[in-house]
Structures are given as structure tokens and as C-alpha cells.
Amino acid sequence: MRNFSKSSAQFEHADGRSAAASGARGKPVAKIQAPADMEGAADVIDKAFKSSIAHMTKGLSPAGMATKGFSWAAHLALSPGKQMLLAQKALKNNMLLWSHLGDAAMGAKAEPFAKPQNGDRRFSSEDWQKWPYNYLYQAFLLNQEWWQEATTNVDGLSSKDEREVSFVARQLLDMFAPSNGIATNPEVLKTALKEGGMNFVRGAENFAEDFEQYASGKRPESLDQFKPGEAVAATEGKVVFRNHLIELIQYSPATETVYPEPIFIVPAWIMKYYILDLSPENSLVRYLVEQGHTVFMVSWRNPTAEDRELGMDDYRQQGVMDALDAISTIVPDQKIHGVGYCLGGTMLSIAAAAMARDGDDRFASLTTLAAQVDFTEAGELMLFIRDSEIAFLSNMMWEQGYLDGMQMAGAFQILRSNDLVWSRLVHDYLIGERTGVNDLMAWNADLTRMPYRMHKEYLTKLFLHNDLASGRYMVGDRPIHIADIRAPIFAVGTVKDHVAPWRSAYKITAHPATDVTFLLTSGGHNAGIVSEPGHPRRHYQVQTIKSGDPYVDPDTWQAQAPTKEGSWWPEWHAWLAERSGEKGKPPTMGAPRKGYKVLCDAPGEYIHQL
């Protein structure tokens, strides 16, 4: 009989204080009581050992990666034809390089024959077209092409294994790109000669500053100009409800009359809510209230080790249902426009499906922003979602009680390592320059944690098993299905989304029982959503798929949907207005006589938790 689950995990600091009492940034140290039997002791040892490794590997399982590597190598060894093609390609690449070298040595213009992949700007400077740097980067790109060929189209290798091996090969190659070195990067050398090496002095200072900030967990001083409640998250409003997990903000009206149906926004709890209420000029919340909408927003609490057992259903009940009850009381007898961003959109969809199953029709419409309900094609993030990786992450979270924001940020950085890791290291530490800080960058650095149980359930039930799209996701003692939702849906995807790829977000258009308007906008997961009117170089495509229409695949949809210039926000507002009643007097702030009194000014208290 195992006694571990009852007695083995108590989290205290060395001085005896609880993790919560010592501050949210304090690192909980596991105080593990000895299990009563050898089986329990072995379990504790395994978890502690794997947790220590997971911290070093950022949650990546060495066993999982080794298994994929062995599988690729074994299938390649059994493919002599593929080996022949690779040998031929290697010979051709060497001949191209020698030809390139000869042209450069004779002073002739050596035209590049290997092109960087889309979005790769590392070698765009004219300095890279001079000898010997043109040879170095061409050799790197040819090597990159060869490994891409070597790790793809291997007979017998599954598509998932192929994507993972190819991804790892790219990451390893990028570590040794000539742009990352001092002697092999002409832009670095040019700067050093021009400044007498002072760029390296500034780079060393930048590195010391970043290391101190990382080790201490402090917020960078450069971000102090974007304090929530001042420069960002500054739209006027009141906190009208608070429970253990959320504060509910009701924003003050900005017009004399408002639409009768309130808007209820559920942001992701991976980060702070104010991605949708940044600076006044690009705040989606401010835009909505200025158009005459009554807006409510969830502000999530930043969990600590004591919240380790909060699960997905706690987030549904305390984060969505409790807030809906409050809104229905403050604005009675009106349906509600539900809006969910990223993970918040997934949770809103779960809640809406459960409500539809149970006959609760409070939603007038649903809007999902860069959110997924079907995870079969969830992009490169799926490379980290396997049984082996989830087990490793679970062991790491088991020790802490939560997944730290830095650990989650590391996974997203790996997906775009060229832009978010290597290019930044070169720019900050070798060139010695800092990139200017804006409100979106400040929000991105305002990290949060996720409870052990919730994150494990999220990865297992949604990403790994795809229970929600398959009708197996349980709410209460019965499963739910997205197809039960009858409210019209407006779904937004972004072209460059690495977190919720637009083709994955598009899957909601297969809904059989309601109209779905899908909008595809330029930009990425965050910047594409924060796309205020007047934002330069913005465009989008939009088209409605009616209930009962034949299925349209995403590529066909993209080819036939009309393109419009500008921000997508007015398009969405018009869609909401068509599904709203005539404007009237704004509701009161809160409902004191019914138990929802004003608690404090927006943005509330939870947003300031570290």
C-alpha cells in the first residue's frame, strides 16, 4: 500500500515558513517524510531524481529524445536508397561550396545559392556578402538543408517522430550558426572595430544585469515605466467580485448609452490579463467601452505551492461560472457575449459546452481569440507534449507545486530560438545594445505560475488525448461536446502564431450546429490580437461558414476569403453590434444589495502579485 500520496509532499522553507508566507517568489523546498514501505520510497526517489534533471533540461526528457533519435537512426540505417540520396546531396553541396570559394578567391562576385528559410534575418546584412563570411553562412545554410533532408521523408518513420527529430536537429545546428560567434560574425567585428571593443564592455554589463535579475527573480528596472494601473491596465473600472482564483473587473462606461448585453472576457492564466488592456492607445478593453459596450474582465490570481491541487474544473468553476453568476446579477435578464483569449478561450469553450449540455443559455455569442478546441494539429508546441515529457514536467511540478513562469517561457523561446534566444544574445551581449522596451514586452515579462494539477490535466486531457474535440472531456460525471454549443461563434486566428497555429484554431469551423465566422489576421499570437485601428501594415481575411454548409479546408478558405486592410477590431465590433439590442442606460457598478459590492479600483490586487 502506498503512503506517499498522503504524507510525502510537504513544502516548507529551510527556516520553517510556508511557501505562501515567505512570498510568492520564494522557491519552495520539498520536505519529504519517509514513506512507510520500500515501494513508496522508490517512488519518492524516482520523482526527486527526475525532478532535478527536469530543472536542468527545462522539462525535456532525455529518454524521450533518445528514443526518437534511435528510431530515426534505425529507420535511416534500413534505407540504403535514402542514404544514397544524402551522399549525392553532400557531394553536390561540396561542389557548390568549392565553386563559391573559387569565385570569391578570384575576386569575382559570388552569387549566393543557398537561401535562408522564411523569417530568418540573421544573414540579411550586406556585411555577410563579403569574403569569407559569405562562404561561412552559405556553408551553414547548405548544412542546414542537408540535415533537413536527412531527418525527413525517411521510410517507416512516423510523421510525429520526423517532426521532432527535424526540430531538434534545427535547434542543435542553430547553436553553431556563424552569426553566434565573434570571429565569424562580420557585424560584431565591424562594431568592435568602430567602437574600440566597447561593445563587449557593454555586453558584459548587460549579461551581469540579466544574470542578477534572473537569479533574484526581480522585475527588470527597464520595465518600471509600464506599471499596471498606471501606463498599462489603466482603463477605469472597479473590482466587483473576488474569490480565491479571480478578481472580476467591471469597466466604467465611456458613453452615455450602452448595448444591453455585456461582454465577458476570459484571458489566459499563463500571463497577466492586461494583454487586452495595454497602453490606452492599443487597449482592446478601452476600444470596446468606447464603442458602447459594458465590459467585464477576469484577473487571475498568481498561484503558489499551496494551490498545487487546483485543477481544470476549479478554473472553470471559480474562473468562469462564478464570474458569470456575478455578471448575471449585476446585469440581470440579459444574455452575455463571451470572449476567451488563448487558454482562456479553451476554458470558455469548455464552460459553454457544459452549459449547453445542462440547458444554460446565458451566452449570446462566443468569441475565441487565438484559441484551440481541437489539438490534433497544435503546432510545434506538440513536440513537447508526449508521455515522457509530461512525466518529466509532472515530476518538476510535483516538487514545486507549480510550473514557474520562467520554465514556461523557456519552452516558447525554444519554438522561436533564432528570434528570441540567439539573435537576442548577439544583439545584447556581442553588439552590446539593448532593444527598446514597449508595453507588449513589459507584459511578456510579467510571468505567472500554473498549479501542478491544473497544468498536468491540461497537457494530458487536451494536448495529449484531445478529449475536448473527441467528446470525452468530463465536466461533473458526464462528458461534454463542443457541438452542443448553439450560440454564434467568432473565431480569430493569427498568421504567424507559434502557440495556437491558425489552422488549429480554424478547426472550430467544423462545428455542425451554429454559424462560425472565422477571421485570419496578420501578426503573431500576441501582436496579431493587439491590432488597434491605425496600426500600420495590418490586414485580415474574414468569412462566415453557416451551420449546415459543406466543410471548407483551411487552405481553400484562405484562398477564397476576401482580404481587408486595417485592424480587425471594427469588423468584430460590427459583428457584436448585429447580435446586440438597442442601447440604453449603463448598469450600476456592481450590485451591492445583491452581494456584489465594489471592492477596489481596477486593476485590482491580484495583478500585483509576484
Q: What percent of the chain has pLDDT over 70?
A: 82
Q: Please give the C-alpha separations between residue 361 and each of 174, 484, 535, in angstroms, as whole numbers.
A: 51, 11, 36
Q: Is pLDDT of 49 > 50?
A: yes
Residue 248 buriedness (CB in 10 A; 0-12 / 13-18 / 19+): buried
Q: Where residue 504 falls among pLDDT bands split at 50, 70, 90? A: very high
DSSP symbol at 321 = I
More confident residue, 334 or 223: 334
- Do 371 and 421 touch, CB atoms closer than 8 A? no
User: 118-166, pLDDT tens digit by residue?
Assistant: 768 889 888 998 888 888 999 999 999 999 999 999 999 888 788 888 8
CA–CA gap between residue 543 and residue 571 (Å, rounded)? 11
User: What pLDDT score was predicted for residue 383?
Assistant: 67
SS3 350: helix
What's the distance, CA 537 to chain centroid?
A: 23
Angle between helices 159-175 and 133-150 (to 10 degrees): 160
DSSP symbol at 33 = P
Q: Is pLDDT of 30 > 60?
A: no
- Do 579 and 488 touch, CB atoms closer than 8 A? yes
Query: 600 an active-site residue?
Result: no
Q: What is the mean pLDDT of the chain?
A: 86
Q: Is pLDDT of 214 > 80?
A: no
Catalytic residue among 32, 141, 342, 500: 342
What architecture is the 237-378+451-608 domain classified under in CATH? 3-Layer(aba) Sandwich (3.40)
pTM of the model: 0.83
CA–CA gap between residue 17 and residue 34 (Å, rounded)? 20
- For the chain, the straight-line distance linking the first and the last C-alpha, in angstroms and rounded, comes to 39
User: 344-368, pLDDT tens digit by residue?
Assistant: 999 999 999 999 999 999 999 999 9
User: What pLDDT score was predicted for residue 415?
Assistant: 58
Mean pLDDT for 474-500 is 95
More confident residue, 121 or 517: 517
Q: Please give the C-alpha separations between residue 251 and each of 228, 263, 517, 586, in angstroms, as whole numbers.
A: 15, 10, 27, 11
User: 4-22, pLDDT tens digit by residue?
Assistant: 333 333 333 333 333 333 3
User: Where on the phi/psi map is residue 196: left (φ > 0), alpha (ψ -120 to 50), or beta?
Assistant: left
User: What pLDDT score was predicted for residue 403?
Assistant: 77
- Do 452 and 397 touch, CB atoms closer than 8 A? yes
User: 530-579, pLDDT tens digit by residue?
Assistant: 999 999 999 999 999 999 899 999 999 999 999 999 999 999 999 999 99
User: 226-255, pLDDT tens digit by residue?
Assistant: 999 999 999 999 999 999 999 999 999 999
Which of 143, 131, 121, 129 is closest to 101 using CA atoms? 131
Task: Name the residue ranges covered by the structural domains of the chain.
Answer: 4-57, 65-176, 237-378+451-608
User: What pLDDT score was predicted for residue 313?
Assistant: 97
